[in-house]
Chain A
Amino acid sequence: DGGITQSPKYLFRKEGQNVTLSCEQNLNHDAMYWYRQDPGQGLRLIYYSQIVNDFQKGDIAEGYSVSREKKESFPLTVTSAQKNPTAFYLCASSPKGAFSGNTIYFGEGSWLTVV
């Protein structure tokens, strides 16, 4: 099936540990994104990548890191420097990038709980 796959769906980690969330897409999309969603809030952009081996900070990049070594993969690491990491994380992709007018499509999300 074509789409965007995020894993794991649920993740629990101890405070101070780094965590990596996986995002894979088989849509042949050029651009990929990571958003964070908190209860009652809209989506906030963490990082985005328009091409392989290149990525840009979004509005709330502090405490997060990403890599884009392959077109289909865009993993997000939540580092111990992120002060409030518990949230719902959404990966998305777009054929050419949102700035070109194309829309973005989302994965099913990953719940991260830090205890």
Chain B
Amino acid sequence: GQQLNQSPQSMFIQEGEDVSMNCTSSSIFNTWLWYKQDPGEGPVLLIALYKAGELTSNGRLTAQFGITRKDSFLNISASIPSDVGIYFCAGRQGGSEKLVFGKGTKLTVNP
């Protein structure tokens, strides 16, 4: 099955720094979702995007649905230790019943 290209694979940052990660695809997507997963737990939905160009915030998190519909970005501002985890993007193509997931970005925040 198709997978999204998510980058970077991992990030090591200092507390207080901003973080950016993205997902790209060769195909057009109609929906982009961003999840966070803590070790040994299920992913938790952070932000859902349904419209090209849409910019949505959830606290310190901001995500954007790319204009080309082939990419999406997630930014975290002023990182804190509890931001540690794996962040996944997921997308859905028009006419498809399935979500496609990226391989995740592992975030480490040093206090």
Which residues 57-115 of A have a CB within 8 angstroms of B?
58-60, 88, 90, 92, 97-99, 101, 103-109, 111
Contact between A101 and B31, CB atoms less than 8 A apart: yes
Which residues 17-67 of B have a CB within 8 angstroms of A?
30-31, 33, 35, 40-45, 48, 50
Number of interface residues of A (CB under 8 A): 29
Does A2 sit at the interface, judged by CB under 8 A?
no
Interface centre among B6, B48, B95 (most CB of A within 10 A): B48
Does A27 sit at the interface, judged by CB under 8 A?
no
B-side contacts of A103, CB under 8 Å:
31, 33, 45, 48
Contact between B92 and A98, CB atoms less than 8 A apart: yes
Does A29 sit at the interface, judged by CB under 8 A?
no
Residue of A nearest to B93 (CB): A99
Contact between B50 and A59, CB atoms less than 8 A apart: no
B-side contacts of A25, CB under 8 Å:
none
B-side contacts of A34, CB under 8 Å:
none
A-side contacts of B103, CB under 8 Å:
40-42
B interface residue numbers (CB < 8 A to A): 1, 3-4, 6, 30-31, 33, 35, 40-45, 48, 50, 88, 90, 92, 95-99, 101-104
A interface residue numbers (CB < 8 A to B): 4, 6, 40-45, 48, 50, 56, 58-60, 88, 90, 92, 97-99, 101, 103-109, 111
